Chains A and B, each alone.
Chain A
């Protein structure tokens, strides 16, 4: 039972880390505003749900909105910083997170919004070993679908091929006549869309407030470090692992729940500094 809760929590982590990993693997940019995009996604999700009254509708609108926000960010803020080292995009997105947090405070107030569980997904379902909230099952299923879709997109489509090629050698891709800048734009937008999507998916399970992105950013960094940077498999596996560790600890030692995942990270760092699925030497 607690395992399922952990997997439900872990799927949010996995999605976030996947988005981070996508942007990092391709653009070599650590999006410090990732938690803020997650937070914006949660706000927009609840807002769209209130306006349209349809959860599925807002499930489509929200990632589109945060995706567009991501596109604008890449085009006007991150793009001028390519070639200036890895610290500058990181710092810039950090500043952006301040602005996004305040923007949500201005728009929706500092209290945040009440989170809403869609009607069809309320209540619990008998899963054989006991009753489990329907929404969390939906969360696990939705994450699985999204992860599969991203995997399919990267591995099996023409665009995915271009993205992979671009990550391996951008000059060759340029020579082949592909507008690499456009590819980067799309990847950044996609990463932010996934962050927004995880925001709306997570919103019924936690309180929606402007600060919600901050702890989750730290936690998704833990996932990234545990999984190994730039490894999508690592992001997913570590995400689930962190979720399970968190919910198991909160079952047995409730006071230590928040600490447990950081301890996990410290242990992984001591044994395998490059992360579980990271390549040795990829830390530089």
Chain B
């Protein structure tokens, strides 16, 4: 058992890719699997900042929303091809991350959470007010992806399974990138900052610049999740920018296990699956999610995956 988990930990991107290849077949329907894929990526991007560097942002919906809106605006208003629209979304989110990060990293601890929450509200109001571009309260409609050809094969984006694998392609690239970052020297500096910021600074690392860099990377990954979501839903609801959406990333990370590679993904899967099940018999699923979340904060602060890892004593050498 233990060696099996070690094997997964060593080849984490390959393992998750293989699993995600068969994932839509074990889910009740493909749309849920796609949702989990997108929010799993969102939570992973968030966790890069929170789990590995200890910065608790409550404004990450901003990046999900910027990614969604810019991709949507590109397609709807400027009839961009979807590939470049994704690129615009990701770059836009990264620039947003640079601006927000520049202000937010001037503060520490809970101030950081408060400032990111407040800055997230700015982004919300900006997109909300720019009604001619974003559709305001109604959201942006008509983000369509037409059929296209790859190597002579016509790809039908409206087929849910095809859509799943196209989105998976981007998610796997992002996962590989996250994995690379974490096992690079940058990843080590991030964890050093989380454990003791002053000591990391004394070791000669530029703490502020590392924080800003990771903030931007995290924003870009969340922006990618947003772009993919716009393509998936073919509309961009204004909810994407909402503070509760930021909270979802936080909840997913904690639920799955912050500071672990698979944790946020597992958290997203469990939460969205739970939502799917709970909404069939009550519309008050938020209360259920809230209670489950509180239960985990109180009794299992390491989350599902983190608890499994610590039970197996795998946690010391590599946080997989």
Interface residues of A (CB under 8 A from B): 24, 30, 77, 80-81, 84, 86-88, 90-92, 94-99, 101-103, 105-106, 214-215, 217-218, 221-222, 224-225, 229, 255, 258-259, 262-263, 265-266, 269-270, 273, 283-284
Contact = CB atoms under 8 A, between A and B. Distances in A.
B294 interface: yes
Given A81-B297, A96-B290, A218 B125 contact: no
B115 interface: yes
Interface residues of B, number: 37
Interface of B: 56, 103, 106-111, 113-115, 117-122, 125-126, 129, 243-244, 247, 250-251, 254, 284, 286-287, 289-291, 293-294, 297-298, 301
A30 B250 CA distance: 16
B46 to A, nearest CB: 13
Contacts of B114: 30, 221-222, 224-225
B118 A95 contact: no
11 contacts: A91-B293, A91-B297, A95-B294, A99-B287, A102-B290, A214-B244, A218-B117, A218-B243, A221-B115, A259-B126, A265-B115
B247 A94 contact: yes
Contacts of B298: 77, 80-81, 92
B119 A262 contact: yes
A214 B291 contact: no
Given A95-B294, A98-B287, A99-B290, A258 B103 contact: no
Nearest to B292: A95
Nearest to A257: B125
B115 A101 contact: no
Contacts of A99: 286-287, 290-291, 294
Given A95-B294, A284-B108, A225 B284 contact: no
A262 B121 contact: yes
A255 B254 CA distance: 37
A77 B295 CA distance: 10
Contacts of A77: 294, 298
Contacts, number: 111
A79 to B, nearest CB: 10
B287 A283 contact: no
Contact of A225 (B108, B115, B243): B115
Contact of B118 (A86, A106, A225, A284): A225
Contacts of A269: 103, 106-107, 115
B247 A283 contact: no
Contacts of A222: 114, 118
A215 B121 contact: yes
Given A96-B294, A229-B111, 18 more contacts: A30-B114, A91-B250, A91-B254, A95-B293, A95-B297, A98-B289, A99-B291, A102-B284, A102-B290, A106-B284, A215-B121, A218-B118, A218-B243, A221-B117, A229-B110, A262-B122, A266-B119, A269-B115
A270 B103 contact: yes
Nearest to A210: B286
Nearest to B129: A255
Contact of B113 (A90, A103, A214): A90
A98 B261 CA distance: 27
Give me the 3 closest cross-chain CB pairs, A-B, nearest first: A98-B290, A102-B287, A99-B290
Contact of A283 (B109, B117, B122): B109
A94 to B, nearest CB: 6
B297 A88 contact: yes
B250 A94 contact: yes
A222 B243 CA distance: 15
Contacts of A86: 109-110
A112 B298 CA distance: 31
Given A88-B301, A221-B114, A262-B122, A283 B293 contact: no
B276 to A, nearest CB: 17
Contacts of A92: 294, 297-298
A91 B51 CA distance: 14
